[in-house]
Amino acid sequence: MVRLCTTFLIPWCSKKIVVIQQAHLDNGYNKSYNEENGIKRGGREMSKDIVFCGGGNMAENIIKGLLYKKVVLPENVTVNELLPARCEYLSKTYGITAVTNADDAIKRAGLVIIAVNPLQVPPVTKVLNPLINEKTIVLSIAAGIPIKTLENQLGSDRKIVRVVPNTLIQAGSGYSAVCMNGCCDDQDKSLITHVLDALGQIMYLKEDLFNSFSGFSNVGPLWLYKMVEALTDAGVYVGFSRTDARNMVIKNMLGTAVVLEETGEHPAVKVDQMTSPGGVSIEALKVLQQGNFSSALMNSVIAGIDKANSIE
């Protein structure tokens, strides 16, 4: 096998990353790649194929991340999707196989990813049940569906992983939460880590924190998108073009994240530093506090978590 180590910039992200390019990848998950990244998989080779059940938004984002990071080759990816038009789009765009019946691929797969909406999970597990075996890893991203429910549908002797995937996969930033049932071993964990690494950061969590993770971290970009929208409107209101206003807000947001990540300082310290006595910032802060900004955010987080709890 020929491997090339390349450093390059992700086009949509300013972070430098190092990727091991494999000129010849003879199995979907490459042992050398894992070892290069400090992830030991042991001797057992994983079946090379991944099957996605459901080819919607999340499946597409995950596929993009996996192909971009060369975790898997297009010929090792099959999507089982009900809509023929969607199958055509996915296969043409990504060079993968997308079909309305993937029974054969599921039988061969090492990893099956359930990426349908929660209500569609029972019909999907019904299809999977006779096709998977004790070596197949079934990974579900369906919000609010616990491992216990999946075990009831698939068997408690099956390897089951529950993931709340990062919603900023295209930026390669943001946490995915993971937990797995007792049938998964260290090698399975290494493999799942390797796969999810391609999407962003990973946090192994106890399942009882999953709903909190969904409502807090997974929904996270929503508050930031809404903030960009509101601040851009404010910029337009005071006379900037929408483009200029949006650009200023986005650069401020990126810069703020970099400063906090790199310094590790508390945001309140940064606010203290920029509020000059009797100045502009402290005036803006006063009015923000009158609008109950912090309380609105906390209540919104709690509402999302309550909803996640109610689905489960």
Ligand X SMILES: O=C(O)[C@@H]1CCC=N1
Binding part of the chain for ligand X, among 6-14, 33-41, 127-135, 212-220 by CB under 6 A, reads 212-220
Tokens of 165: 């995937």
- Residue 203, contacted partner among ligand X, ligand NDP, none, CB below 5-8 A by kind: none
Using the rule CB under 6 A, is 143 a contact of ligand X? yes
Please identify, using beta-carbon distances, which residue of 83 and 274 lies nearer to ligand NDP. Answer: 83
Under a CB-based contact definition with an 8 Å cutoff, are residues 33 and 140 in contact?
no
Using the rule CB under 6 A, is 62 a contact of ligand X? no
- Residue 72, contacted partner among ligand X, ligand NDP, none, CB below 5-8 A by kind: none
For every residue of 14-50, DSSP letters joined together read --EEEEEEES---SSS-HHHHHHTT----SPPPPS-E
Q: Could you tell me which residues are beta bridge partners of residue 114?
A: 53, 140
The site that binds ligand X (CB under 6 A) totals a number of residues, namely 5
Cα–Cα distance between 113 and 72 in angstroms, integer?
A: 14
Closest CA to 15 of 201, 267, 229: 201
- Residue 219, contacted partner among ligand X, ligand NDP, none, CB below 5-8 A by kind: ligand X
Under a CB-based contact definition with an 8 Å cutoff, are residues 31 and 45 in contact?
yes
Using the rule CB under 6 A, is 217 a contact of ligand X? no
Using the rule CB under 6 A, is 218 a contact of ligand X? yes
Is 84 a known ligand-binding residue?
no
User: Cα angle vertex 205, ends 203, 66, to 5°?
Assistant: 40
- Residue 116, contacted partner among ligand NDP, ligand X, none, CB below 5-8 A by kind: ligand NDP
List residues forming the annotated binding site for NADP(+). Answer: 115-118
List residues forming the annotated binding site. Answer: 115-118
Residues that bind ligand X (CB under 6 A): 143, 167, 214, 218-219
